[in-house]
Amino acid sequence: MEYFVQQLINGITLGSIYGLIAIGYTMVYGIIGMINFAHGDIFMISAFIALITILAIGVTGASSIAFILLALLIVLVIAMTFTAAWGWTVERLAYRPLRGSFRLAPLITAIGMSIVLQNFVQISQGARVKPLQPVISGGVTLMRGQTENGPIVVQLSYMQMIIIITTIVLMVAFSLLIARTPLGRAQRACEQDAKMASLLGVNVDRTISLTFVMGAALAAVAGLLFVLFYGVIDFYIGFVAGIKAFTAAVLGGIGSLPGAMLGGLLIGLIETFWSGYFTVEYKDVAAFSVLVIVLIFLPSGLLGRPEVEKV
């Protein structure tokens, strides 16, 4: 029981991070119908920006709590801003010139961009893993139990609390942004019918750019949380995290924001429970198998609308 609860907490934490990345996939797919393959690498870029900013500010676990919180807030803003610039640039260079081209073309430039970003970071920052001393440590003990292997403690660390709370706050804010603001309205209009929206005076190109910017900013939040929680990053983290987040977006129903979050949580839980109860080595296989199974039996995902193909 205690073990189960602990895995549940870990799964939700991991799932929150996947969910934040998945939103970037789902929004881009919703608006221009392409898989932004480089999004996982945008997440990786943001993790590096966050790491470097933390080092530059010089905040460590020994600093006072007020300073840590203030510093992390600054790091968050910086990481979101600069990652957004990366997201915007990638869209501008690799996707915008191909708008209206045949369907596979942007997917191939996306793969090219992903390779470029990975190797750029590898060259400029080195291939070795970057460890960060924990900035936020400690937590609260929820349960204590006894198993045949000795005592077991269920812990909810402060970092996990921060991750879950941040994710919830961002989700609420983001849903409001999409539902209530003119920008969100423009975005939904482009999603439904880009041509009609442009005839009605919506600047489609700018809306698409802003979609990439917002997706990148959310990935930056995920990147900062990832650095703080796991404490180890390298230039390759974007690939696997990207595929899993995409799986999450598909599982939830691509194009649907709550779906992306739900899918992220499910993928995080599946992966954690699989590692906890079966084998760690095959946890990626479990996540990928979920992708395959969902696409075969439920192609529109849990919360997505079925797509009708017309002549």
Partner 1 sequence: MAEIDKIGTAEAHKSPGQQVLGEERAEALRGEPPTVPEPSTISPLAGAVKDAAIAAGIAAALFLFFIGQKTDLVTGGLGLRSRWGAFIIAIAVIFAGRLTISLLFSQQYKVVEFDLSATIGKTVGAPLAARFGGLTRYFGTAALTAALFYPFILLIGFPQQDKQFIDLGVLVLTYIMLGWGLNIVVGLAGLLDLGYVAFYAVGAYSFALIAQHFEVGFWIALPVAGMLAAMWGLILGFPVLRLRGDYLAIVTLAFGEIIRIVLLNWYTFTNGPDGISNIPDPTFFGLEFKRGDENLPGIFGMKYDSAYKQAYFYYIILILALITNFVTLRLRKLPLGRAWEALREDEIACRSLGINTTNTKLTAFAIGAMFGGFAGSFFATRQGFISPESFTFIESALILAIVVLGGLGSQIGVVIAAIVMIGGFELFREFANYRMLIFGGLMVIIMVWRPRGLITAREPSAVLKEKKTIGADMVAQGEGH
- Compute how many residues bind partner 1; rule: CB under 8 A: 79
CA distance 214 to 220: 10
The least CB distance from residue 179 to partner 1, in Å, is 25
Burial zone of 185 (CB within 10 Å; 0-12 exposed, 13-18 middle, 19+ buried): middle
Nearer residue to partner 1 within complex by CB, 144 or 206: 206
Structure token digits, residue 286: 């479990």
Nearer residue to partner 1 within complex by CB, 148 or 281: 281
What is the DSSP secondary-structure string of 117-143?
Answer: HHHHHHHHH-SS-EE---SS--EEEEE
The least CB distance from residue 59 to partner 1, in Å, is 12
Nearer residue to partner 1 within complex by CB, 178 or 243: 243
Which of helix, strand or coil describes residue 218? Answer: helix
Subset of residues 73 to 102 that bind partner 1, contact rule: CB under 8 A = 82, 85-86, 89, 92-94, 96-102
Residue from 28, 121, 136, 216 binding partner 1 (CB under 8 A): 121
Residue 157 parent element (H or E): strand 150-157
Outline where 33-103 has alpha helix (H).
39-57, 65-90
Nearer residue to partner 1 within complex by CB, 24 or 171: 24
The least CB distance from residue 14 to partner 1, in Å, is 18
Q: Is 166 in the site for partner 1 (CB under 8 A)?
A: no
Which of helix, strand or coil describes residue 61? Answer: coil
Nearer residue to partner 1 within complex by CB, 166 or 209: 209
Query: How many other CB atoms are there within 10 angstroms of residue 261's CB atom?
Result: 28
Q: Is 131 in the site for partner 1 (CB under 8 A)?
A: yes
Q: Is 205 in the site for partner 1 (CB under 8 A)?
A: yes
Q: Is 246 in the site for partner 1 (CB under 8 A)?
A: yes
Q: How far is CA 34 from CA 117, 163, 215, in A?
A: 19, 29, 14
Structure token digits, residue 263: 């899918």
Nearer residue to partner 1 within complex by CB, 3 or 230: 230
Residue from 1, 73, 123, 165 binding partner 1 (CB under 8 A): 123
Q: Is 112 in the site for partner 1 (CB under 8 A)?
A: yes
